[in-house]
Amino acid sequence: QQELPDTPALRVNHWMSRNVNLLLPIMMIMLTSADRLFFLRTELSWSERLVHYLFATGTYLICSTLLIPLYTHWPGLQLLGFLVIFGILIGAAISLHRRTVWNILKAVVMVPATFLLYVLLCTVLVALFLGLPIEEVLVRGPR
């Protein structure tokens, strides 16, 4: 097996993988805030939305944990993990609001966009925590 070079991006990646439980509250807060932005007319408080996304994240964790044995035997199935994440969280966003085409579309856009922002924010926070230069973490690899 080929040894990967120890780059700042890989160090951040390894730290985030080992400590994902510390970063999940950030994701729940971001999802709750995004839900509040995307669905302004829903008469739910911020804390009610947070509880809903806490439950959805817990459901995602249980499902993704059950998929770990599949990943060890078939590494190509790791894409399935993203489908599980997005499927559960989009389903949670849809179930929280009236089911209209517009609300479903907003949920389908909100969840992946929030997830990408979450990964970017956590990458920057972990790089700062580890004392790594952000410009070395957020670089494009060799082509």
Q: Which residues, 6 or more positions from 52, have their beta carbon under 8 angstroms from its beta carbon? A: 44, 92, 96
pTM over 0.75: yes
| Cβ contact 49:35 at 8 Å | yes
Enter the DSSP assignment of 133: -
- For 68-83, b/e burial (b = at least 16 CB within 10 A) is eeeeeeeeeeeeebee
- pLDDT tens track for 36-84: 999 998 889 999 999 999 999 999 989 988 988 988 888 888 888 889 8
Give the model confidence (pLDDT) of 73-103 as tens digits: 888 888 888 898 899 999 999 999 999 999 9
